[in-house]
Structure 1
Amino acid sequence: MTLKNPISGFLLFFWLFMAFCCNNKGAMLSESLRQNAVQELDSVMENQESWVTVHAAEYKIGLGYPEGVKEAFLEEQRQRGSQSPYRIGIWRVLAQSDPALANEYLEKITKAFQDRQGTDRVHAAETMAKLGQNLNEWAPEATREVLAGPINSLYVYTLWSTLQGTASAAGVSALMDLALDRELGDLVRMQAAYALRNEGNITQWKELAAEARALPEGAMEKVYLLSAAYIHAPVSEKGGGTWKSIRDELLAYAKSPGKAERMEMAIALGKSGLPEDLPVLVELLENKYPPLEEGKRDNAIIKPEDQADIRATAAYGILTLERSQTYSLAFGDWLVVLCYLGGMLGIGYYFSKKNKNEKDYFLGGGKMNPVAVGLSLFATLLSSLSYLSYPGEMVKYGPVILSGILVFPLVYYVVGWFLIPKFMKLRVTSAYEILEINLGVSIRLLATFFFLSLRFLWMGTIIFITVHTAILAIFGFDSKYTLLISILLMGITIFYTTLGGLKAVVFTDVIQSGVLMGGAILTLLVVSYSLGSFTSWIPGEWLGHWGELKLGLDAMERLTIGNALLTTFIWYVASSGSDQMSIQRFLATENLHTARKTFGVSLLTNFVVQFLLGLVGLAVLAYFIEFPQYLNPGETVASHADQLFPKFILVGLPVGISGLVAAGILAAAMSSLSSGLNSTSSVISEDLIKRFTKNYKAPKNQMSRVRNLSFFVGIFALFLSVLISKVEGNLYDVIVKVVNLFVSPLFVLFFMALFVPFATARGTFVGGLLSVAVAVAISFYKIMGIEVLFILPVSLIVGMVSGSIFSYFDHWLLGNKETMAKRSREAAIFKASRESQQ
């Protein structure tokens, strides 16, 4: 079989996929054991009292089973909300179960902490730390006072709270000193070890272990030191001598007469145990270790309510241990992915034989099929960034972002009838030749700088997010191989792009469009099957973690319906009207009609796929709400929204389908990277090399030169991907902050060059620079409280208004006659004269 028959090749690909389409993803727990553990938590919360119910409720929330918690504790608040210190526990549970009112309960807890005569200050400080709240921010004066005072329980928990939201190595070190200080009381050391157990990035686990093993049996802090050491032992040390000794001592606590010891052991095994520890936890759940007979040890008898607390903690340990299970792609998945990557390389090689000159490479000969080019444009604009971020955005913030697709008809009209006709009048290789014709060389060079900055950052972001969010999670590679994986991803893309040029890009984009849509549809089908129907995953109400639904325009709100419509409209118009990757595809068609058809196909495909990806977000949200056992310890659907789709690919899809969807993500990344390589190489060649090379002569081997140029573009994008990791925010925010910085500023230049007759180069230059400055100020400094999703509209308005004002003054007051209208007329006369001579 050869690439002369690509359809048969992909039929083989599909057959291989179907051959391995069987699910072998086994579960650690049986369904009956899982249900028993969940039912135990429900029973304890409903039938016990006071802090035992608080523990069970928090376990339920943390494990993703919040049903009934909010209602139960609202009733507790009505009946016992004034009892100190139990009221702190009630507020703690309600703050976690009702995010919309969390601040209200946090303020109550803070007031209790600030009450110097209160009886529940210690509980308040501990609760704020457990909830991840920094008392330095809520009550700075009281916090400073406590930390300047004596070292006691209040001191320990207040110090622990000040670590939240920071990366304070000094604070962790201070807790470590408290836990290891033998001159302090047992209670303070125990509480410090308990705080360390709940923190991350503890490297001194061996010191904790050594201190614990040096303590006599019965020492209050011993089990907490062991637990902290066991939980923070690195994976590389598991199985070593120190780790084994810690584990053996922890397991001995299964028969301890003390409730706290059994509970702490269960939590440690749940967080960092092995599958073979499961029977110990099951025996605790089933009360296989009875308490000592009365009189054996003072105050050591485990009361019925204590037994309930132990059973709930054992259930928590069992369900947490299950979440430590790892999943990986099966052989069939790997085969699908490898076949796909091999196909991409083969396509590049095939089309390399079809390119005869530079026009073939950059524009595909100028007579490409408009439907194919439209699909290519869709695949370019809907990169792996969108494929990963749209479902995550839907999970975390709800369907508001999806409402933006309602503005697509207006986008089609504006681009198709106001922008595309302008571009098709001038048959150019680089879109920025248009700017030079109307406004001069300086604006063309500024546009070149904007475009290259935009696309280099865009490609760097694609590499970074595809590798970190998808490839590491799905393929199970260690993070230390991140750079190597990034090089491999870019290397394959460079190879088939630099071989085949735009023809290879468009052909692979068409295939990748099908893979993208197929992956989304398969996800919806699998979730529907798993949950019982096609409608079971559609929320029946607006979920609490989505925040309040708002309709109008508001720059101070992250997202409203009006914001989504405006941002989507501006992004599509600005990208289509200024981006070389879009204009390049318009110019690759034969005429105005086919160019409009190209854009229409792209927009229609975007509509379908964005809608599908929005549904995918709702589907995976419902899936993980229904099956929270697949989330890692500490993960929730809200806190790890961006990771749900990649995780679902592993745990939810059958073998073969997982590989196909993983290939879809690689497809989306390589599709966009290939288009970025081709278009940036085109701009560098036309706008920089040819312009600034004295006595430029076309090389004898033009294709070799443009291929080398694409290679160096890819290397630079790879370098930028390393820097993207320093940008803060969730996946969607990072994309907006980095990728959209230059979208509006670039379109400002085209707007001035096409629609403002009195526009001058100097006025346009100032408008473009001010637009960038505003975009950066909003993105990284949140100037005037404007949210990052308003980068596009605000920077666009500032650029257009300032560019027009400065051009007006430049033309009418300073007498600059070199306006857009004048230069356009001169260019038209020159073109007509040249055509008549020919």
Structure 2
Amino acid sequence: MDLSLIDLVVFLSYMLAIILFGASFYFKKRSANDYITGGGRLPSWAIGMSIFATFVSSISFLALPGSAYLSNWSGFVFSLSIPIAAILAVKFFVPLYRGIKNPSAYYYLETKFGAWARTYASICYLLTQLARMGAIMYLLALPMNVMFGWSIPMIIVVTGVSVLIYSIMGGFEAVIWTDAIQGIVLISGALACLLIIMFSMPEGPGQVFTIGAEHDKFSLGSLGFSLSESTFWVILIYGLFINLQNFGVDQNYVQRYLSAKSDKEAVKSTLLGSLLYIPVSLLFFFIGTALFAYYQAMPELLPEAYSGMDQADKVFPYFIVSGLPVGMTGLLIASIFAAGMSTISTSINSSATIILTDHYKRYISPDVSGKSEMRVLLFSSFIMGLLAIIVAIAFNGVESALDAWWALSAIFSGGILGLFLLGFIGKNIKQKYAAIGVALGVLVIAWMSLSPVILEEGMRFRSTFHANLTIVFGTIVIFLVGFLFSAIANRKN
């Protein structure tokens, strides 16, 4: 499949425009505070769109329609947990971080448990971001490779360098404003795609609902209580814990809380960004169901190479190239890149912030000058972007990059949420018991993540729990061990 000249022009024009727009912020007078939080003067709607864009990656853009095409809307249950986490965020987390007035999400952990907790959490965060950026760039390259035959390493390098240019030159303001634009492009492209699918149905848009209902495509999954299957309850609980982690201890979100003009504006942006994801994720699931109905009604339009259920993730990219009008294909490809680029730019900026605040200023030069802070931020952004490109290329050839990302993210990030909740909810928690809790929690997380990969089915000590419960059990173990040990010690005293 080849892009038409018009589609190629649309796509390349978008990429160039985003890079130039983001890089234009370089010419504004900036301090380290501007580079990290935009000087705390950004409008709430733009911050909200950036929070939304952080939620949506190229993984979501391609995987959610693929999931709905393959099965049903069970994955949408994840989105239903967001309002609960968002309410907790605006009530507790936003005031907490704006009150501390420290750009690092992990400074709070140091005030509770000492320097080790901050260092541990920040290193875990950096490793998670590297894995995340690498997985997103690699998974972004896959459909482009399948559709057009473009080299995977080439796509990764071009994407990484493009984001790196405007992330380094423009800082946090560039990240926020490009995220806002890319969020709008993403939603517009997805809406246009859905409308084209529905109005291309032989019997009209209503046929999508008819075929979808016949094949039980609108189901939210089993209501059973099995802990080894992807039931409604397993996804809901998983979603709640993941979103608590996002809002409570993720540097990407904390920087956005601090970039708003006031506490009220920070609350508005958090609610806008988080709640906007719910209808947009629904839109992606609807696209998957609509595609299923489209190719059920007109099976001759889908080549045999894409008809197998194991090819579900490739059906949407195929439709983008083959089923859309000229020009629209370029816009949709730009939307996919927009989703990936917004997530990567966020990770680069927040990672550089953590390197400066939690490592350079904490251990190397506490009294670093403003110019030196900027040099550290720029150099750190460059190194993280370069490492992310290398990680993405290393993913090339992995049997399942998505599975590898889930396993890595569970191991690296699960312990941070448990430690944060222990400090936030617990009182008089002893440092050593918090450390014991983290050690045991990480062991549980590692066992649940790795034993299904290492051990064959039916073997002893192989976890039978669903992978989504990894962060749930790990977090609970850390919290309970630290809390109970401290309570027993305090009672003895």
Do both share a fold (TM > 0.5)? yes
**Closer, same or farther in 2 for the Cα pair 1:695/1:705, shift >3 Å?**
closer
**Closer, same or farther in 2 for the Cα pair 1:399/1:556, shift >3 Å?**
same
Per-residue deviation at 1:588? 1.1
Kindly indicate whether residue 55 of structure 2 is the aligned counterpart of residue 381 of structure 1: yes
- The answer (yes or no) to whether the contact 1:767–1:803 under 8 Å persists in 2 is yes
Kindly indicate whether residue 22 of structure 2 is the aligned counterpart of residue 343 of structure 1: no
User: Aligned to 1:555, what secondary structure does the other structure show?
Assistant: coil
Matched to 1:543, the amino acid is: H
- TM-score w.r.t. the length of structure 2 is 0.92
- The answer (yes or no) to whether the contact 1:575–1:743 under 8 Å persists in 2 is no
Residue aligning to 1:472:
145
**Closer, same or farther in 2 for the Cα pair 1:597/1:682, shift >3 Å?**
same
**CA distance in structure 2 between the aligned counterparts of 1:355 and 1:399, rounded to whole angstroms:** 47
Kindly indicate whether residue 394 of structure 2 is the aligned counterpart of residue 723 of structure 1: yes
Residue aligning to 1:796:
475
Per-residue deviation at 1:695? 6.7
Kindly indicate whether residue 169 of structure 2 is the aligned counterpart of residue 492 of structure 1: no
- The answer (yes or no) to whether the contact 2:137–2:340 under 8 Å persists in 1 is yes
Kindly indicate whether residue 254 of structure 2 is the aligned counterpart of residue 583 of structure 1: yes
Q: RMSD between aligned alpha carbons?
A: 2.3
- TM-score w.r.t. the length of structure 1 is 0.55
Residue aligning to 1:763:
433
Residue aligning to 2:231:
560
Q: Which moved more, 1:801-810 or 1:652-661?
A: 801-810
**CA distance in structure 1 between the aligned counterparts of 2:65 and 2:489, rounded to whole angstroms:** 48
Task: Determine which of 352, 369, 385 is the counterpart of 1:681.
Answer: 352
Residue aligning to 1:648:
319
Matched to 1:763, the amino acid is: Y
- The answer (yes or no) to whether the contact 1:407–1:568 under 8 Å persists in 2 is yes
Per-residue deviation at 1:607? 1.0
Per-residue deviation at 1:377? 0.9
**CA distance in structure 1 between the aligned counterparts of 2:418 and 2:325, rounded to whole angstroms:** 48
Q: Which moved more, 1:695-704 or 1:665-674?
A: 695-704
Residue aligning to 1:510:
180
User: Aligned to 1:431, what secondary structure does the other structure show?
Assistant: coil
**CA distance in structure 1 between the aligned counterparts of 2:395 and 2:429, rounded to whole angstroms:** 36
Q: Which moved more, 1:488-497 or 1:747-756?
A: 747-756
Per-residue deviation at 1:722? 3.0
Residue aligning to 1:773:
443
Residue aligning to 1:805:
484
**CA distance in structure 2 between the aligned counterparts of 1:810 and 1:452, rounded to whole angstroms:** 34
Task: Determine which of 707, 710, 716 is the counterpart of 2:378.
Answer: 707
Q: How does 1:233-312 map to 2 (within 5 A)?
A: none
Q: Which moved more, 1:455-464 or 1:394-403?
A: 394-403
- The answer (yes or no) to whether the contact 2:74–2:219 under 8 Å persists in 1 is no
Residue aligning to 2:456:
none
- The answer (yes or no) to whether the contact 2:187–2:280 under 8 Å persists in 1 is yes
**Closer, same or farther in 2 for the Cα pair 1:438/1:810, shift >3 Å?**
same
**CA distance in structure 2 between the aligned counterparts of 1:798 and 1:628, rounded to whole angstroms:** 50
Kindly indicate whether residue 80 of structure 2 is the aligned counterpart of residue 409 of structure 1: no
Matched to 1:584, the amino acid is: Q
**Closer, same or farther in 2 for the Cα pair 1:456/1:806, shift >3 Å?**
farther
User: Aligned to 2:206, what secondary structure does the other structure show?
Assistant: coil
Residue aligning to 2:121:
447
**Closer, same or farther in 2 for the Cα pair 1:597/1:767, shift >3 Å?**
same
Per-residue deviation at 1:628? 3.4
Matched to 1:620, the amino acid is: L
**CA distance in structure 2 between the aligned counterparts of 1:776 and 1:630, rounded to whole angstroms:** 45
Per-residue deviation at 1:387? 1.2
Q: How does 1:354-369 map to 2 (within 5 A)?
A: 354-369=28-43
User: Aligned to 2:249, what secondary structure does the other structure show?
Assistant: coil
Kindly indicate whether residue 199 of structure 2 is the aligned counterpart of residue 529 of structure 1: yes
Per-residue deviation at 1:689? 1.3
- The answer (yes or no) to whether the contact 1:766–1:806 under 8 Å persists in 2 is no
**Closer, same or farther in 2 for the Cα pair 1:677/1:810, shift >3 Å?**
farther
User: Which structure has more helix as a fraction of its residues?
Assistant: 2
**CA distance in structure 1 between the aligned counterparts of 2:405 and 2:64, rounded to whole angstroms:** 11
Per-residue deviation at 1:630? 4.6
Kindly indicate whether residue 341 of structure 2 is the aligned counterpart of residue 667 of structure 1: no
Per-residue deviation at 1:766? 2.6
Q: Which has the larger radius of gyration?
A: 1
Matched to 1:477, the amino acid is: G
Residue aligning to 1:620:
291
Identity %: 27
**CA distance in structure 2 between the aligned counterparts of 1:548 and 1:583, rounded to whole angstroms:** 32
Matched to 1:765, the amino acid is: A
Task: Determine which of 106, 109, 117 is the counterpart of 1:435.
Answer: 109
**CA distance in structure 2 between the aligned counterparts of 1:554 and 1:542, rounded to whole angstroms:** 26
Per-residue deviation at 1:535? 2.5
Residue aligning to 1:785:
464
Q: How does 1:72-111 map to 2 (within 5 A)?
A: none
Residue aligning to 1:31:
none
- The answer (yes or no) to whether the contact 1:617–1:645 under 8 Å persists in 2 is yes
**CA distance in structure 2 between the aligned counterparts of 1:488 and 1:407, rounded to whole angstroms:** 36
Q: Deviations over 1:390-449 (max 9, x none)?
A: 111112231111133333332222222122222221101111111112221010011111
**CA distance in structure 1 between the aligned counterparts of 2:78 and 2:224, rounded to whole angstroms:** 13
Per-residue deviation at 1:554? 2.3
Per-residue deviation at 1:570? 1.6
User: Aligned to 2:28, what secondary structure does the other structure show?
Assistant: coil
**CA distance in structure 2 between the aligned counterparts of 1:438 and 1:462, rounded to whole angstroms:** 34
**Closer, same or farther in 2 for the Cα pair 1:615/1:634, shift >3 Å?**
same
Matched to 2:394, the amino acid is: L
**Closer, same or farther in 2 for the Cα pair 1:796/1:355, shift >3 Å?**
farther
Per-residue deviation at 1:625? 2.7
Matched to 2:480, the amino acid is: V
Matched to 1:471, the amino acid is: M
- The answer (yes or no) to whether the contact 1:745–1:771 under 8 Å persists in 2 is yes
Task: Determine which of 359, 368, 372 is the counterpart of 2:46.
Answer: 372
**CA distance in structure 2 between the aligned counterparts of 1:402 and 1:548, rounded to whole angstroms:** 7
Kindly indicate whether residue 62 of structure 2 is the aligned counterpart of residue 420 of structure 1: no
Matched to 1:789, the amino acid is: N
**CA distance in structure 1 between the aligned counterparts of 2:78 and 2:319, rounded to whole angstroms:** 26
**CA distance in structure 2 between the aligned counterparts of 1:610 and 1:585, rounded to whole angstroms:** 21
**CA distance in structure 1 between the aligned counterparts of 2:399 and 2:447, rounded to whole angstroms:** 15
**Closer, same or farther in 2 for the Cα pair 1:429/1:545, shift >3 Å?**
closer
- The answer (yes or no) to whether the contact 1:457–1:739 under 8 Å persists in 2 is yes
Per-residue deviation at 1:799? 2.2
Residue aligning to 2:459:
none
What are the ranges of 5 or more consecutive residues in structure 2 without an aligned counterpart? Answer: 453-461
Residue aligning to 2:458:
none
Task: Determine which of 541, 558, 565 is the counterpart of 2:213.
Answer: 541
User: Aligned to 2:291, what secondary structure does the other structure show?
Assistant: helix
**CA distance in structure 1 between the aligned counterparts of 2:479 and 2:431, rounded to whole angstroms:** 13
Per-residue deviation at 1:612? 0.7
**Closer, same or farther in 2 for the Cα pair 1:606/1:659, shift >3 Å?**
same
Task: Determine which of 637, 645, 657 is the counterpart of 2:328.
Answer: 657
- The answer (yes or no) to whether the contact 1:748–1:800 under 8 Å persists in 2 is yes
- The answer (yes or no) to whether the contact 2:72–2:216 under 8 Å persists in 1 is no
**CA distance in structure 1 between the aligned counterparts of 2:247 and 2:295, rounded to whole angstroms:** 37
**CA distance in structure 1 between the aligned counterparts of 2:221 and 2:29, rounded to whole angstroms:** 52
User: Aligned to 2:144, what secondary structure does the other structure show?
Assistant: helix
User: Aligned to 1:537, what secondary structure does the other structure show?
Assistant: helix
**CA distance in structure 1 between the aligned counterparts of 2:225 and 2:401, rounded to whole angstroms:** 22
User: Aligned to 1:590, what secondary structure does the other structure show?
Assistant: coil
Per-residue deviation at 1:618? 0.8
What are the ranges of 5 or more consecutive residues in structure 1 without an aligned counterpart? Answer: 1-326, 816-838
Matched to 2:106, the amino acid is: Y
Matched to 2:75, the amino acid is: I
Per-residue deviation at 1:561? 1.4
Per-residue deviation at 1:530? 1.5
